[in-house]
Amino acid sequence: MRLEDKVALITGAGSGIGRESALLFASEGASVMAVDLDEDANADTVAEVRARGGTAAASHADVSHADDARSMIEDAEATFGRLDVLFNNAGISHADDADAVGTEEVVWDLTMDVNVKGVWLGCKFGIPALRRSGGGSIINTASFVALMGAATPQLAYTASKGAVLSMTRELAVIHAREGIRVNALCPGPLNTELLMKYLDTPDKKQRRLVHIPMGRFGEAAEMARAALYLASDESSYVTGTAFTVDGGITAAYVTPDAIAPEASP
């Protein structure tokens, strides 16, 4: 078992990547502290883990609130005695997120509170717990848009995921000598409720699919398998990365560096 005797806390565990990761991590031997704002969805995840023979408990938290973030870490240590893996996965994509002109301040602030502040607070309270366990792995969910931007305007979301990626890199450097690895999982477009609520017609789906070399959307379960690698000791020399799992979409675009003129001697 790849996570035997480890304790993993997963935010956003009630659905999507978080739910699939909770199920997979538990099947690989982890004790899972499932965290979500939606108590019913979170309870369903915990029940499914237990039905499959795994170990899990639930913690209710709004990751953008310091008291809640502190409590979820305390719940993990009080229930399971330690923390080895922190998966800061919870995030939102607001329906009214648009370009710089069209995005309202309230949408910007809410997106940053959940997607950026939520990751910071998870690390603020989670890193001391990882230290108490002698080290561990932090996985922060970013996105392929942190690397290349989004063709459909969603500026607050894109900016938030860029912040998660840069935060991840700095945390990785700061805490490397403590045995704490920090990586950003960068999913491509996924067949999840979060994206499909926007791509709600065949034409909209096709306009996105044409840019993905593999010709399909990713699945939450595929992201969970990538997160499992980052959580496990198999990735013991991996830190500070943008771990991109995107069907090739970022590889399909030429980067500015690749076409920049050679510097003069």
Here the contacts of 192-195 (C-beta below 8 Å, separation 24 or greater) are: 192/15, 192/16, 192/17, 192/220, 193/15, 193/16, 194/16, 194/93, 195/93
Please answer whether residues 18 and 11 qualify as being in contact, where contact means their C-beta atoms are separated by less than 8 angstroms: yes
CA gap 148, 162 in Å, rounded: 10
229 catalytic residue (yes or no):
no
Q: Single out the residue of 227, 202, 41, 66 nearest to residue 137, CA to CA.
A: 227
Decide: residue 27, CB within 10 A, 0-12 exposed, 13-18 middle, 19+ buried: middle
Can you point out the beta strands (E) in the chain? 7-11, 31-36, 55-60, 85-88, 136-141, 180-187, 242-245
Q: Single out the residue of 259, 22, 14, 249 nearest to residue 139, CA to CA.
A: 22
Please answer whether residues 89 and 11 qualify as being in contact, where contact means their C-beta atoms are separated by less than 8 angstroms: yes
Strand partners, 85: 8, 137
Please tell me which residue in 157, 229, 237, 253 is annotated as part of the active site. 157
Angle at 222 between CA 137 and CA 170, to 5 degrees: 30
Q: How remote is the C-alpha of 164 from its chain's centroid?
A: 9
Q: Is 50 left (phi over 0), alpha (psi -120 to 50) or beta?
A: alpha
Helix (H, G, I), strand (E, B) or coil at 41: helix
Cite the active site residues. Answer: 157
